[in-house]
Amino acid sequence: MATDHFQDETEGVADGGWQAELAEAVRSASELCRLAGLPDQKPGPAAGWPVLVPRSYLSRIAPGDPDDPLLLQVLPRPEELETPEGFSSDPLGETAASPVSGMLWKYQGRSLIVATGTCGVHCRFCFRRHFPLPASPPRLSVIEPALERVGRERSIHEIILSGGDPLTLDDDCLAELIGRAAEMLHVRRLRIHTRMPVAIPGRVGPRLVELLRATRLTVIVVVHVNHPAEIDPAVEAALARLVDAGIPVLSQSVLLRGVNDNADTLAELFEWLVDLRVVPYYLHQLDRVSGTAHFEVPEARGRRLIEELRGRLPGYAVPRYVREVPGASSKVSLE
């Protein structure tokens, strides 16, 4: 919920729409500390991954709390300069899984298209923080080789749009991309992985919903949310607009030390999502990308958390606990 601390800083942003909010996002660690009421906090260097925090997300951070779980996700820390053994710039082997620019092909029947390098918020644990993302502003010509390859591969039945965040594409660009996918008659489903309904919930407007409804493809939205404090009335409304339109919405979360690595937080998050008609899908073990080791939770603890959640929640409210292993034919279950 927004606090008085941020009212002057965010006033007027909503009137300019989601693109204005993205343009006016906080892009300095020192400014982020000031706005979060942490004048003595010394942020770490951005370590090659710039700060990007929209004002609507900022409004949900508790002022003056250096351990706020939302702040921890977006504020650089000195630990990002550390790269312990087992961490690397490409922990998922995505470079090897990219037959052409903009396309990742790792699983049978599905292909992922990196539609844009732009995000709505820069999470400090991002597994693509070192990936060669497409330059902005987005142009479909950049991913044309990927679209052509998917068009030739008749075994691909599902396109996964990722990035960056595909919902940072404007409606016209997104409509063109969806139209291209719908022309491929062997493609039946379009899955959109996004953090925008949480980062900038105003992105989920009437035209976007209509675009997702109008295609012949079965559209599934997978929203990334890690903590119950990320869900405010605007986020609830954004998710409701998708669900009310008949679009299935799933959630995925990353298990993060100091953010959500306790059963109370996870239970509240997953039960709230179910109440919002969002199906908890995956709880991801951290991808071991350079600069993120301080977020890692031991797998044994993750298993204990899942077991506790099973005793507290209905089965449909407990996501699968998984990690991605390079070369594996699917996500690897850790349960």
Tell me, what CATH number does 241's domain have?
3.20.20.70
Same domain as 134, residue 74: no
HSE at residue 311, side-chain half, CA atoms within 13 A, is: 7
Query: Which amino acid would we find at residue 116?
Result: T
Same domain as 108, residue 48: no
Same domain as 251, residue 125: yes
Same domain as 286, residue 212: yes
DSSP class of residue 45 equals: P
For residue 93, tell me if it sits in a domain. no
Each residue's pLDDT, cut to its tens digit, for the chain (335 residues) gives 333 333 333 333 444 699 999 999 999 999 999 999 998 777 777 777 899 999 999 999 999 999 999 999 999 999 998 889 999 888 777 777 677 777 888 888 999 998 898 999 999 999 887 766 665 555 677 788 899 999 999 999 999 999 889 999 999 999 999 999 999 999 999 999 999 999 999 999 999 999 999 999 999 999 999 999 999 999 999 999 999 999 999 999 999 999 999 999 999 999 999 999 999 999 999 999 999 999 999 999 999 999 999 999 999 999 999 998 887 778 899 98
B/e letters for 241-265, b = 16+ CB within 10 Å, e = fewer, are bbeebebebbbbbbbbbebbbebeb
Of the candidates 255, 243, 234, 283, the residue with the CA atom closest to the CA atom of residue 54: 234
Same domain as 192, residue 53: no
For residue 87, tell me if it sits in a domain. no
Give me the DSSP letters along 154-200: TT--EEEEESS-GGGS-HHHHHHHHHHHHH-TT--EEEEEESHHHH-
Same domain as 152, residue 33: no
Please give the Cα distance from 304 to 290 (Å, whole number).
Answer: 26
Same domain as 26, residue 118: no
Same domain as 270, residue 319: yes
DSSP class of residue 112 equals: E
Provide the domain count of the chain. 2
pTM for the predicted model, two decimal places: 0.91
Same domain as 165, residue 251: yes
The radius of gyration computed from the CA coordinates of the chain, to the nearest angstrom, equals 19
Same domain as 140, residue 19: no
Cα of 101 vs its chain's centroid, Å:
21
For residue 232, tell me if it sits in a domain. yes
Same domain as 71, residue 109: no
